[in-house]
Structure 1
Amino acid sequence: MTRSLAEANREISRVRGLPYGAARTQAAEQQARLVEAEGPDQARAYALLVLVESYVWAGEVDRAYLPFTQAVRWYDEHPEHLDETDVHQLFWSFKWMVGHLSDFPDVPAAQIEATLADMERRYAVAGLGHDAVAYEKFCWARKRGAPDVDELYEQWVRTPRDDFSQCEVCDPGDRATYLVERGDVEDAARLIEQTLAEGGTCATEPADMLARLATLHLEAGRAQEAAATHRRAVAALADSESDMAGARGARFVLLARGGQPRRALRALASDARLLQRADTPDDTFWFLADVVAGTSALLPDHATLPVELDGVPVRDVTGLRDWADSRAAALARAFDARNGTDRYARSLADARATRPTVARLDLDVIPATGPDAPPAGGTVASAVADDVAAGESAFARAERLTEAGDVVAAAAAWLEAAREAEAAGRLADAGLALAEAARCAQEASDDDGAAATYPGAVARMRAGGTPVPDVVPVVVAWAPAAVVTGTGAAVVDVVDGLLGELADVPADADAPVDPVAQAAGAELDERLSYARRRARADLHDTAARVLASLGGDHLPDAARRAARAAEGYAGVDAVADAAHAFWLAGRLHAGLGAVDEAVWNLESAVEGFAMVRQHDHRGEVVSALVDVLRGAGRDERADEVLRSLTR
């Protein structure tokens, strides 16, 4: 039966509310086919434009051009079927097409320029502002390295903003990027700092601007400012959307040039997927160029440093540099051939010439000699002395600094608090203080310091008699640092030891029963049992994630533990945590080729996220589930899952 307009719009809107990814894209394709086959005509533009949006933000801009042209043709032939929202979205989509089509070297320059000219004409006829057009003209010139790029930049910045201008936070970031390219470094730094001070955020900012500013600080010899800004950039990256290839590439270059080779390679390992395919070929080229720049800075001193990257057949820094250079050069040739310039080749040549900076980055929050070393000198030591003179205890000082967000100074204060507690024989307190110091180090991107500190924290808490369920959160916090630093096996050993102490103790059937004591004790027993069961689930989940990071022969055990964690969380009504654990188990089983187990766990995760109304996670799991079903040839079931998203 044909849907009404309200029903069609409602289902398309539900697709639009999904997170970007395979599930949303396929659901949008499904809606576009339904409207084309069954109507109503008034919903066609909406369905096509949601499909365009889905392709664009899932990194498939090349596929977006067909439904975009279909929407434009529909608008030209049947404007009566589009409402005001449809028309606005159609004109907004021109920006995506012009801006992103140039990211694909196989899209002819003539097609890009024709689309840009059509955009300019249509905006003028519709009486819209010129800012979006001026920006796209500048971007196309910049991408080609055209001789009039400076003139087009000035025209853009002089053009008043309007309803079709880009994000107010992205705008200054793009300006700063170009200012750096043309050599106006101080102006760029001032613009970034002014924008950061205003506190604006969006899907990609302030991570992009912070990454750029950290580089400017390092190149100017401001090592402390570079380190502080780098920490802010890493924190912002965690909250950003899209692949953030630019900021991630800049992070690698910063660490490599600043004398942090091992940290640089670890950061790159976490971003290895971008070496094969970022959102667009243009993004891939610039990420590869950053890898060429960073590895060039590491040569020759670190030429033989081992490199392990998923899907990249290299063994050391020299091999990585050659591999990245070869792939980047191929993309440069394709872009330059399309553009009729040598901009990409020149940019790659600049990357090859990158060298270390004179300034060296110091990113250790906990001293390199370990948590038992004396407190750091300089301003932190002075602040500690002033606070002690004022009569403030080490614990109070550490808590105050933590609450103020000064995690670097707080880490030093927590270390001092740990030393004081241990000297007084309060081992449990000492362990807790060490755990807090490690957590501060993690927040400041010092995973080495954190990974070196957590084991001592756990040991002291255990020696001090801290109940096992209270130790478990520290082990959970330790795991990510251990994974990053390659010390995950130690976490699994601790997990297994704690699990052995968390079994519920059976009641003694022959013991005399006191009804009053029994009633009072039953409630306490239930609370303790709940805490133990929750702790067991947390430990299995932690072990599963650590084992999954180790890969290889550890994956079957990781899948089993993830399933046990999911069951444990479900048993204590922790539905969201259970859903996450089912999701992990499903991914692991899928990777092992166990289709039925993968489907069951992923379906359980979908159900769990639906119960707690975490729609973004639900959409991501559905994407994984649909991929598994289609890979197994269960297309009808995959289509049913997609349709369920809109009901």
Structure 2
Amino acid sequence: MSRTLESANREISRVRDLPYGLARTQAAERQVRLVDAEGPDDARAYALSTLVEAYVWGGEVDKAYVPFTRLVRWWDERPDLFDEQDRHTLFWSFKWMVANLTEFPTVPAAQIDRTLADMEHRFAVAGNGMNAVALQRFVWSRSRGAQDTAAAYEAWVATPRDDFSQCEACEPGDRASYLFEAGRTDEGVRLLERTLTENPTCATEPADMLSHLQLAYLEQGRLADAAATHRRGLAHLADSHGDMAGARGRHVELLARGGHGDRAVRMIEADQRLLTGGDSPDSRLTYLVHVGAALAVLRATEPGRPVRLTTVPATTVAELADWARAEADALAAAFDRRNGTAHVSATVARAWGTTAAPEPLDLAVIPAQVRQADQGASSDGAAAGVVVAEAPCGAAGPDGGATRTAGADVPDVAEVLARASRLVDDGDPAAAAPLYLEAARRAEDAGLLADAGAALAEAARCAQVLDDHEGASWAYSRATTLLRAGGADPLLTAAVVRTHARSAADLGRADAALAEVERCLDELAGPDGAPETPADVPGAAELVERRRAEVDRERAELDDCAARLLATLGRDGEAAARASAAARAFGAAGHVADASHAFWLAGRLHADAGATDAAVEDLESAVEGFGLVRDRDHRAQVAALLIDVLRRAGREREADDVTRMLTD
């Protein structure tokens, strides 16, 4: 029985509500198959455009050209079946297609020229503005390093904006990246600084423009601004779509050039999937070029620094530099053969000639002198109190302004904490950290050790979110000591230990973090974990029950944390068992969302180990749980993994059932 237009549109709209990824893509593919088999024809444009978008933003841009071609052909045959939204999406997709075709060296130049000419013709016939066409002509010229690139850029920026122009958040970043490439650094910096005051946001911004701006500041010698912009850019990366390979690579380059080889290597290890793949060959090459710049700097000073990679046959910086150069050269040669120039190979060569900045960037959120002073006091046998120092110039806030530090004019601990909290709420954790340190010092001077520990944990969190894991780890460890010494509630201490685990793992200290987690579990199992309440106290039974529930939940959280640490240590079997135990504990206590996350972790671990049945069981539980709490994004992400596991096991019918479930 054929679907009605209303029901088809409703199901396709549900696909568009899913996060980008395998689940959304396969659901979109299913909708196209259904329209082809059952109709209605009125929904075909909507289904095809939804699939094009799923491919483009789901990391499979090479697959988008086929449904796009079908969409154009359908427009030629039945333009009457396109509503205004369908029409707009069709012409908007031309921009994706031209830009994406240039990113695959196997696509002949003649095909790109034809597609661009067809775009220009169709835009003219439809009466659309020509800004998007001018942009794509510039993109194609720039990718080849053609002699008319500068003229194409000027033609683009001079063409009036229209309904099909690049989004207002993206355009300044695209313009600035070219200006930096062309040596017009000051002009590009002014453009981005002006744009950022307007708080632009979209799928990739402001993360992408910030990644360009940090390097431009480095070139100008504005080290404090480079450090602040680096922090701000990292914070926005988590909210961006696509692989963001260029932005991630630029952050690696800044870290290496700024004297932070340890952080650069950690970031390469975390994003190592981009060394061997990305949304496109051009995306991968862009990442390799910026990582190559970083490796050129690191190889000059520490060629033997270890790197921990599973996707690349390299164990040191020098080996990784050689491997990356060979890969980049091969990709560049392929692009240059297609383009008929030597532009891309020259870009690679320049990257491997990169040198370090004149002096290191200060990226510490918790200054080194604070940690060193504390350690010195401890070694002298004195009380290891928190020492507050002036924040370094590199610890500027996200707006590029100087960090505000606590001073003698701050009246009391409560006021300092309130000011720090307001700064965090305003998105300025770099400025909040010194205030939390000041509050911790004042509380400790007053003998309020638990309060000092709590304030220090807040400072640690500020450092952690800004990638200062050394500072965060010191502050978390010190906070834990103060909390225990001050007789703090074991639940608070456990929460701090769990939060510390991320920084400890990033620093290669997962073993120590795991030992602290186990200690917290022991503490919660003892008499301090669930203190008794006298029976004659009003509401005693309810208080005891509430405390028991809080302890049970924290123990489940600690088990979940332990599972993640065990996975970091490569003890996957133990990790999967621990995650399953945490999931059951969360579920028994009615914490469905937490249980779903734990089942998800267990499912991933079982899938990696090849234990298909166990993986499917855990992932199905996670999908069901996220569905119960109406968490569409996480439900779709787990469903994508479940579909992949089932297809790899040859269980196609079950995989199709999961795909159908997402939209029915």
Fold conserved between structures, TM > 0.5: yes
Q: Which residue number corresponds to residue 634 of structure 1?
A: 651
For the structure 1 residues 505 and 397, does the alpha-carbon distance in structure 2 shift closer, same or farther, using more than 3 Å as the test?
Answer: closer
Equivalent-residue separation in structure 1 for 2:480 and 2:462 (angstroms): 16
Alignment partners' CA distance in 1, 2:27 and 2:522: 46
Partner residue, 1:123: 123
Out of 457, 460, 463, which is 1:441 matched to?
A: 463
- 3-state SS of the aligned residue for 1:536? helix
1:340 matched to 2:340: yes
- 1:498 Cα deviation from its structure 2 partner: 1.4
8 A contact 1:375–1:416 mirrored in 2:
yes
SS of residue matched to 1:376: coil
Answer with 315-324 or 391-400: which moved more: 391-400
- What is the Cα deviation at residue 409 of structure 1? 4.2
SS in 2 for 1:189: helix
Match of residue 526, structure 1, among 537, 545, 552: 545
* Mean CA deviation greater in 93-102 or 368-377: 368-377
Whole-angstrom distance in 2 between the partners of 1:245 and 1:391: 44
- 1:255 to partner: Cα distance: 0.8
Q: Is 1:231 matched with 2:248?
A: no
Matched, 1:376 2:389: yes
Contact 2:643 2:655 in 1 (8 A): yes
1:434–1:454 CA contact under 8 A, matched in 2: yes
Q: AA paired with 2:463?
A: A
> Retained in 1: the 8 A contact 2:413–2:443?
no
Change (3 A) 1:323 1:395: farther
Q: Residue 602 in 1 paired to residue 619 in 2? A: yes
The whole-number CA distance in structure 2 between the counterparts of 1:251 and 1:182 is 20
Q: Which runs of 4+ in 1 moved over 4 A?
A: 378-386
What is the correspondence of 1:158-173 to structure 2 with a 5 Å cutoff? 158-173=158-173
User: Are 1:465 and 2:487 counterparts?
Assistant: yes
Contact 2:504/2:510 (<8 A) preserved = yes
Query: Aligned equivalents of 1:383 and 1:130: distance in 2?
Result: 45
Q: Return the alpha-carbon distance in structure 2 between the equivalents of residues 239 and 473 of structure 1.
A: 25
C-alpha separation in 1, matches of 2:391 and 2:47: 61
Match of 2:382 in 1: none
Name the CA distance, whole Å, in 1 between partners of 2:305 and 2:440.
36
- Judged with a 3 Å threshold, the aligned counterparts in structure 2 of structure 1 residues 423 and 579 are, in CA distance, closer, same or farther, namely same
Partner of 1:570: 587
What amino acid does structure 1 have at the position aligned with 2:556? A
**1:563 shift after superposition:** 1.4
Match runs of 1:273-292 below 5 Å: 273-292=273-292
Shift of 1:316: 1.1
CA distance in structure 2 between the partners assigned to 1:646 and 1:120 by the alignment: 36
1:351 paired residue number: 351
Amino acid at match of 1:528: R
C-alpha contact 1:18 1:615 (8 A) present in aligned 2: yes
Cross-structure match for 2:438: 416
Equivalent pair of 2:49/2:68 in contact (CA under 8 Å):
yes
Change (3 A) 1:95 1:457: same
The more displaced of 32-41 and 277-286 is: 32-41
Pick closer, same or farther for the CA change 1:318–1:528 going to 2, 3 Å.
Answer: same
One-letter code aligned to 2:87: V
Question: Match of 2:153?
Answer: 153
- 1:263 is aligned to 263
| 1:82 matched to 2:82 | yes
Q: How does 1:280-429 map to 2 (within 5 A)?
A: 280-368=280-368, 371=371, 372-373=373-374, 374-377=387-390, 387-388=407-408, 390=409, 392-394=411-413, 396-405=415-424, 406-429=428-451
1:622 corresponding residue in structure 2: 639
Matched to 1:340, the amino acid is: G
Query: What secondary structure is seen at the aligned counterpart in 2 of 1:104?
Result: coil
Q: What letter corresponds to residue 377 of structure 1 in structure 2? A: E
Instruction: Give ranges in structure 1 of 5+ residues lacking alignment.
Output: none
Of 625-634 and 236-245, deviating more is 236-245
Alignment of 1:41-80 (within 5 A): 41-80=41-80
Q: Which residues in structure 2 correspond to 1:100-249 (within 5 Å)?
A: 100-249=100-249
Whole-angstrom CA distance in 2 between matches of 1:480 and 1:105: 40
- Give the TM-score normalised by structure 2: 0.92
Find the counterpart in structure 1 of residue 476 from structure 2. Answer: 454
Aligned residues: 638
After superposition, what is the alpha-carbon deviation per residue over 1:525-575, rounded to whole angstroms, capped at 9, x for unaligned? Answer: 111011101111111111112222222xx1111111211222222233222
Residues 242-251 or 413-422, more deviating: 413-422
CA distance in 2: counterparts of 1:347 and 1:384, whole angstroms: 40
Residue in structure 2 matched with residue 8 of structure 1 by the alignment: 8
99-108 or 609-618: which moved more? 609-618
Letter in 2 for 1:67: P
> For residue 380 of structure 2, what is the aligned residue in structure 1?
none
Query: Does residue 539 of structure 2 align to residue 517 of structure 1?
Result: no
Shift in Å, 1:422: 3.0
Report the more deviating stretch, 309-318 or 287-296.
309-318
Which residue of structure 1 aligns with residue 384 of structure 2?
none
Task: Describe the superposition over 1:28-62 as per-residue Cα deviations: whole angstroms up to 9, x where unpaired.
Answer: 11111121122222122222221111111112122
Distance 1:264 1:367 in 2: 19
Q: Which amino acid aligns with 1:620?
A: Q
Deviates more, 1:293-302 or 1:620-629: 293-302
Q: Distance in 1 between matches of 2:406 and 2:78?
A: 75
Offset of 1:637 from its aligned partner?
A: 0.6
Contact 1:504 1:529 in 2 (8 A): no
- Deviation of 1:475 after TM superposition, in Å, equals 1.6
Structure-1 separation of matches of 2:572 and 2:103: 37
The answer to whether the 8 A contact 1:407-1:440 is kept is yes
Contact 2:517 2:562 in 1 (8 A): yes
More displaced 10-residue stretch of structure 1: 463-472 or 76-85: 76-85
Equivalent positions of 1:512-591 (< 5 A) are: 517=536, 520-551=539-570, 554-591=571-608
Q: Distance in 1 between matches of 2:392 and 2:616?
A: 56
1:87 partner amino acid: R
The sequence identity of aligned pairs, in percent, is: 53
State the distance in 2 between where 1:192 and 1:519 align.
Answer: 62
Instruction: Give, as a single letter, the amino acid of the residue that structure 1 aligns with 2:508.
Output: G
Q: CA deviation at 1:502?
A: 2.4
Kindly indicate whether the alpha-carbon contact (under 8 Å) linking 2:505 and 2:513 is maintained by their aligned counterparts in 1: no
Amino acid at match of 1:539: L
Distance in 2 (alpha carbons) for counterparts of 1:455 and 1:302:
29
Shift of 1:273: 0.8
Paired residue type of 1:641: V
Deviations 1:211-231 (A, max 9, x none): 111111112111111111111
Q: Is this contact kept in 1: 2:173–2:208, CA < 8 A?
A: yes
Distance in 1 of aligned mates of 2:596 and 2:631: 10
**Which of 448, 454, 459 in structure 2 is aligned with 1:432?**
454
Aligned-pair CA distance for 1:383: 9.8
CA contact (8 A) 1:292 1:321 kept: yes
TM score, norm. by length of structure 1: 0.94
- The answer to which of 173-182 and 297-306 deviates more is 297-306
1:131-152 Cα distance to aligned partner (Å, 9 max, x none)? 1111011101100111111111
Work out the CA distance in 1 between the residues paired with 2:332 and 2:553.
Answer: 53
- Could you say which residue in structure 1 is the equivalent of 2:378? none
Matched to 2:586, the amino acid is Y
Name the CA distance, whole Å, in 2 between partners of 1:397 and 1:545: 35
Change (3 A) 1:378 1:536: closer
My pick for the range that moved more, 526-535 or 396-405, is: 396-405
Contact 1:587 1:598 in 2 (8 A): yes
2 CA distance for matches of 1:327 and 1:564?
Answer: 43
Specify the SS of the correspondent of 1:502.
helix
Quick one: structure 1 residues 266 and 2, their matched pair in 2 at CA, closer, same or farther if it must change by over 3 Å?
same
Matching residue's letter, 2:97: M
Contact 1:222-1:359 at 8 Å conserved across structures: no
Query: CA distance change for structure 1 residues 205 and 386 in 2, over 3 Å: closer, same or farther?
Result: closer
Q: CA deviation at 1:370?
A: 5.4
Deviation at 1:581, TM superposition (A): 1.4
